[in-house]
Structure formats: C-alpha cells, structure tokens
C-alpha cells in the first residue's frame, strides 16, 4: 500500500503528503480491500470475497471484482464510478480516472471477457473499455472514449468508437512574454 501511495504522491500534483494520500484517497482504500478480497477469492472463499468487495464499493464508489488481476502502483484518481470486471487484468503503473469501466461485451462462450491494460497506460475519465482486448504499454485512452478494439503500445485513442490519433509531426505553439507566437517542433 505504501509503495502505491508513494507512486501517487509522485504522479499527482494535488497530493501534498504521503499521509494525505493514504488517509483520503479512495483508490488506495479500494485497492487495500481488493487485495484482501482477491486473496479470499484465490482460496475459494467467494462469498466472503464478494461481501468484502461490495463493502469496498459502497464506501469508495469503486467496484473491483475480487477475481480481477491487478498489478502494483495502480493510481485510481478520484475513483467514483470505476468498475473493474472479473477477468480484467491491469499491469503495473496504470492510471485510471473516475468513471472508467473495464467491462465485458456480451459473450457466453468466452472465459476472458474483460480487457487487459498493459503497463503504464493512462485511461481518461468515463472511458469505457469493453471486451477481451488489450490496451498497449504507455497508451492513452481519451476521456469518454469507447474502446472496442486493441490499442497499440504508445498510441492515443479518442472518440466513440475509439480511433487512434495521428501523433507524428505535431506542432506546439507558445506565446512569449512579448506576445509573439513561437512555433516549436515537438519530438
């Protein structure tokens, strides 16, 4: 838990102290309860795991299925409305904003129904990632996007349904102190 809290302190400019993160961030509390529920689920104590998961969802607004597989240093920012399905996999150093759903698409014959979020991915507010698909390493999913297909590593997707944003040759403009506009190449 403290490893996750320290990583949040580094990633969140609004965080003032480690104590604040541990005591007031709902994502930390949800992950704490998830780890216990996951342990219970692995030991076939499904009812107890489910009850603990429901308690965590009620107190934090974050619903994580006990059987989901979550890595380390996951940052669930704000958290309210986050839903993580039973066969979802989230690798290390992933950031999820509020309202994110890692859900399934209706399929009765698949054992793996939820997404696999690779290391370092960033998932924007209210994004819906549905089905047995992969979001690649260090990819970004824009706010409100509906992802129905795999996302390649280091890509950004936006929209409904989500499509990759063309990222090469992007230009950045900045206004200098004397109000002149300067064009900078972004590499």
Beta bridge partners of 102: 84, 129
Separation CA 17–CA 171 (nearest Å): 36
Separation CA 91–CA 100 (nearest Å): 16
- Per-residue pLDDT band for 107 (boundaries 50, 70, 90) equals low
Task: Kindly report, residue by residue over 166-184, the tens digit of the pLDDT.
Answer: 765 444 443 444 444 444 4
Percentage, residues of the chain above pLDDT 90: 81
Structural domain boundaries in the chain:
2-185
Task: Kindly report, residue by residue over 59-83, the tens digit of the pLDDT.
Answer: 999 999 999 999 999 999 998 999 9
Q: Which two tokens stand for residue 74?
A: 């996951």
Q: What is the pLDDT of residue 1?
A: 79
pLDDT at 149 > cutoff 60: yes
Any idea what DSSP says for residue 146? E
Q: Where are the alpha helices (DSSP H) in 43-171?
A: 46-60
Separation CA 109–CA 42 (nearest Å): 23
Q: What is the pLDDT of residue 123?
A: 97
By CB atoms closer than 10 A (0-12, 13-18, 19+), residue 180 is exposed
pLDDT at 112 > cutoff 90: no
Any idea what DSSP says for residue 151? B
Task: Kindly report, residue by residue over 23-56, the tens digit of the pLDDT.
Answer: 999 999 999 999 999 999 999 999 999 999 999 9
By CB atoms closer than 10 A (0-12, 13-18, 19+), residue 172 is exposed
CATH of domain 2-185: 2.160.10.10
């Amino acid at each position: 838990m403290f490893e996750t809290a320290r990583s949040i302190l580094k990633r969140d400019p609004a965080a003032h102290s480690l104590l604040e993160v541990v005591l007031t961030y709902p994502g930390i509390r949800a992950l704490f309860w998830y780890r216990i529920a996951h342990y219970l689920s692995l030991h076939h104590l499904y009812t107890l795991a489910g009850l603990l998961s429901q308690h965590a969802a009620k107190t934090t607004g974050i619903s994580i299925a006990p059987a989901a597989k979550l890595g380390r240093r996951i940052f669930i920012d704000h958290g309210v409305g986050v839903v993580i399905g039973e066969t979802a996999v989230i690798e290390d150093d992933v950031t999820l904003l509020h309202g994110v759903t890692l859900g399934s698409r209706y399929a009765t014959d698949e054992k793996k129904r939820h997404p696999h979020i690779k290391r370092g991915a960033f998932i924007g507010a209210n994004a819906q990632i549905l089905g047995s698909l992969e979001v690649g390493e260090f990819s970004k999913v824009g706010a409100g996007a509906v992802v129905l297909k795999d996302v390649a590593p280091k890509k950004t997707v936006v929209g409904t349904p989500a499509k990759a944003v063309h990222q090469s040759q992007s230009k950045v403009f900045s206004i200098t102190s004397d109000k002149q506009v300067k064009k900078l190449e972004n590499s």
